[in-house]
A and B are shown apart, each in its own frame.
Chain A
Amino acid sequence: MRRRDFIRLAALSVLPPALALAGAKQALAQGIDVDAILRDPDAPTGGNPDGDVTIVAFLDYNCPFCKKSAPDLERIVNEDGHIRLIYKDWPILTEASVYGAQLALAAKFQGKYETVHNALMRIPGRKIPQEQMLKVVQGTDVDMARLDLDLKLHGAEISALLKRNLAQADSLGLQGTPTYLVGPLLASTLDYSSFKRAVAEARRRQAAEK
């Protein structure tokens, strides 16, 4: 592995009690609405809805590190089988990132969020223009006419969700993309084995909290 494998997993000391629904007040006092982060009804989800560990992924479609770790995230979620994945589109890098997020979130209305998300994450590069994103999405089995319609019908909802995501990232003081909240832990780019360790550590901590 060429990349220096430096990983920071900072414990989110506020989150575990919040997960246990005991310390929500504390979190709220600090301006963090934990429930909103973990249970936003509009946020697209993946993995096992009843999973015991939740990974919240703050991502941007022009973020090279997000793209680098996306396959590993996908793999840990599939292989572990007990991970609940929450996607937080956090378009902060380019204008096209916002467009990509809108496409993906609009596809959610036809149950194809992950199709679009994965397709966009697989375009290598950090300056993918809107046209290229659209082309790639057209190459999926997404119904484009429906997508267009959903963008029109639910545009306000999508914008509101993106703004909520921004506010949440801000309240958490996140530095950039990718940021993964793995249970009570916080990390940036991870590879498969680090994801695995992070998930194990999250389980251990959650068990200790009980």
Chain B
Amino acid sequence: MVMRMLPRATTKPFYAALCVIALVFTGTGPAGAEQKPLQADEAFRLSATRTPDGTLALRWQIAPGTYLYRDSLKAKRAGASVALATGPGEEKDDPNFGPVEVYHRAAEATTAGLPGAGALDVSYQGCAEAGICYPVVNRQVDLASLRIEAAPPASFADTAPAASVPVALVASEAAPQGAEALFNGNFGLLLVAFLGFGLLLAFTPCVFPMLPILSGILAGGGTRPTPARGFALSGVYGLAMATAYGVLGIAAGWSGANLQAALQTTWALGLMAVLFLALALSMFGLFEMAMPAWLAARLPRGGLSPKEGGSLAGAGALGFASALVVGPCVTPPLAAAMLYAAQTGDAVRGGAALFMLGLGMAVPLVLVGTFGAQIMPRSGAWLSRIKQVCGVLFLGVAAVLAARLLPAPAGLALWGGLALGLGVFLGGLDRTIPGSAPPARLGKATGLVAIIYGATLIVGAAGGGDDPLRPLGALAGAPRVASAGVQDTRVSSPAALDAAFAAAQKEGRPVLVSFTAGWCTVCKSNEAVMAEPGLQSRLAQMPRIAADVTAYGEGERALMSRFSVVGPPTLFLLDASGREVPGSRHIGALTTADIEGLMAKAGL
């Protein structure tokens, strides 16, 4: 059975029996006498003629109460599409469907340059005003006789075997775009690619904490080991590190679970924030990044045996463990790789890919281990500077992660604190004496800027602000606080929404509910649209509830499923009985026209 668009024959006898009784339930009165909507081939009658110059003209007779979409008129010859010239249709602008051009009563399309024989496949589609859309109609025009015949099956008639969801799109959130091609390539290419990724990662500050660990192993004996011994030790260390990643890859491949979702949970975000904080503190020299003593003591034969430099087993154990220590630092690429592994559901492939990633990361470490510090730039004050810069970066990453777990103003305050701290460390509060060198003064100036910015952020946060670029916007007359009477209560659970709704209901007007989230940039631009002067004053009369789903906890999930909200930004009106006003839902970016429409629905 192919997707037949229409009953071939005239109306089936059965259908007559089917419609013995036509009931019109609504009070349209005389409309009750109206016929049922026509079948598509009754609604649209196609004919073809040739003009003297050979142009083929297709004409449709369109039954009253039905219409054809201009953009649906299509023609094909031998599988290749043929351009049709069509006249402008009537603009039909239904807020639900967007502006479209339709033809009523009649339509015409012309095409020139067709041969005098053969067949032209024509397809078209339309709807009846009564509220039904007809299937695509396919007809064949015999170019010699100009007779119209029922066409062979429509283009998409034979449902193609399940179209697979492209993996690239599934993973698009995390996987680097360019990597996709490599993922699908052959196995060897995949391994080389991941080795390369690992090498790149080795030049990020992520690998920094490993250097002190490795040098601890190498310098275990107090003297520098021979290059051979150094190579062996650092090689084992690197292999063990790569193995740790390989194990992760195998686990990801096995689980096939939605790792991306798992990485977005409160726990995962919190844990990563804490780890980054620890990394940052270690960069500032608060403690040395090394194995905890209790763990080191349990390592086989003591990883840092004083006599013989590090033992191979100790180096291996440390390598395995330190891969896990820096794990969070390489989370984004690692998550992408693990997602890939999870999607393939292929543990071997996933494991091998991540093993190569670890190996790539280990290459510079092995070089350092073998040739010693000669190939490393001499340590000195500059190194501690670099470590401090890395520390600040790590703190920033920790703040980004933590901010996603906190209410928006609290996140802003966190940034403020970070900026303040940075300012102090830059010397913003140090005393400059008349003889201070320019670099010190520059540091102080930068520090002061950071301090003032940080303080501003904290003040803004206290005032309910959440925009790092306009921290005082909430205080300085931003719309929702400044305009009296605007109810923009923020809720994040069904119970809170009910309470807010009950409070807003006192005004007896429909309530605008908008789902938003801190990370939702479209929501921000929507708020900007609503703040436009022309709309703001009228909008101010509409009670508003903002459902904040930034955190995506249990309450937020319940709230979203209650209103079948897929994600922010989603807006709709609730009527006095708490029901969604039909047709009031908007998803995505808003225009002023959308808001006008909403206000009209709300009776404003």
Contact = CB atoms under 8 A, between A and B. Distances in A.
A3 B136 CA distance: 23
Contacts of B133: 60, 63-66, 93, 126, 176-178
B25 A198 contact: yes
Given A126-B97, A139-B566, A13 B18 contact: yes
A75 interface: yes
A143 B156 CA distance: 27
Contacts, number: 237
Interface stretch (B35-43, B319-327, B373-381, B388-396): B35-43
A175 to B, nearest CB: 5
B96 A138 contact: no
Given A11-B23, A64-B97, A188-B130, A148 B170 contact: yes
Interface string B139-164: 00000000000000001100111111
Given A10-B23, A95-B156, A102 B162 contact: yes
A155 B130 contact: no
Given A138-B170, A145-B342, A167 B1 contact: yes
Interface in A75-133: 75, 91-95, 98-99, 102-103, 106, 118-119, 122-127, 130-131
B1 A103 contact: no
A152 B1 CA distance: 22
Contacts of A123: 587
Contacts of B295: none
B159 A7 contact: no
Contacts of A146: 256, 258
Q: How large is the interface on B (under 10, 10 to 19, 20 to 34, 35 or more residues)?
A: 35 or more
B196 interface: no
A155 B4 contact: no
Given A7-B25, A72-B582, A175-B39, A166 B162 contact: no
A162 interface: yes
Interface string B22-37: 1111101001001011
A36 interface: no
Given A60-B133, A175-B37, A10 B3 contact: no
Contacts of B580: 71
Contact of B164 (A5, A11, A148): A148
Nearest to A62: B133
Interface of A: 3-14, 30-32, 60, 63-69, 71-72, 74-75, 91-95, 98-99, 102-103, 106, 118-119, 122-127, 130-131, 134-136, 138-141, 143-149, 151-152, 154-156, 158-159, 162-163, 166-167, 170, 172-173, 175-179, 185-186, 188-194, 197-198, 201
Interface pairs A-B: 6 shortest CB-CB: A189-B131, A155-B162, A92-B135, A188-B132, A173-B15, A10-B19
Given A8-B36, A91-B3, 5 more contacts: A65-B132, A71-B580, A145-B258, A163-B3, A176-B128
